[in-house]
Amino acid sequence: MKHAAALDIISRAIRAKVCTKCCQRPPLSEEWEPGWKRPCEGGCAIFLNLPRLTQIVAHIKDTHLDAYESAVRSSVCQHCTLTPTAGDYCVEQFTRSCPLSRYLGDVVEVLSKVPQVMACDNEQAAAALAGVSR
């Protein structure tokens, strides 16, 4: 599957799994189509870091979320510019108001399907693999 098509499917899968319940979602957006892009996506720690998060998930392959949290802290949070306290003592991470921190388990679950989605040569089947409809 082409990279752009796979990225589109994975983005829609994250929207369906995370954006529909996100504490930062726009009011009433839980009633939108699950795969629709929310206006907050351009400033979202999950979507802004999707390539890096995909690399982390591909390399770690651990059953414990701690391993992913640690990798995200060292290679994403240290470079984050979304909040003034980003880094080791990020208030948004401590309070779990950062969507990436709060929903990392869901993000890992979706991104763990990237290899299968990429390997699929049929878009409909790839979308079904990722848990979204085409």
Min dist CB 119 to ligand SF4, Å, is 26
Site string for ligand SF4, 78-107 (x = CB under 6 A): ---------------------x--------
**What is the distance between the alpha carbons of residues 55 and 93, in angstroms, rounded to a whole number?**
21
CA-CA distance, 44 to 59, in Å (whole number)?
23
Using a 10 angstrom Cβ sphere, with 0-12 exposed, 13-18 middle and 19 or more buried, the burial of residue 88 is exposed
> DSSP letter at 131?
T
Residue 11 in contact with residue 50, Cβ under 8 Å?
yes
Q: Which of 9, 11, 17, 25 binds ligand SF4 (CB under 6 A)?
A: 25
Q: Which stretch binds ligand SF4 (CB under 6 A): 44-52, 70-78, 114-122, 126-134?
A: 44-52
The 10 Å Cβ neighbour count of residue 61 is 9
Residue 31, token pair as written in the block: 């009633």
Binding region for ligand SF4 (CB under 6 A) out of 1-9, 37-45, 58-66, 125-133:
37-45
Residue in 8, 24, 67, 109 binding ligand SF4, rule: CB under 6 A: 24
For residue 84, which amino acid is it? P
Instruction: Between 41 and 69, name the residue whose CB sits nearer to ligand SF4.
Output: 41
Q: Return residues touching ligand SF4 (CB under 6 A).
A: 18-19, 22, 24-25, 38, 40-41, 44, 46-47, 99
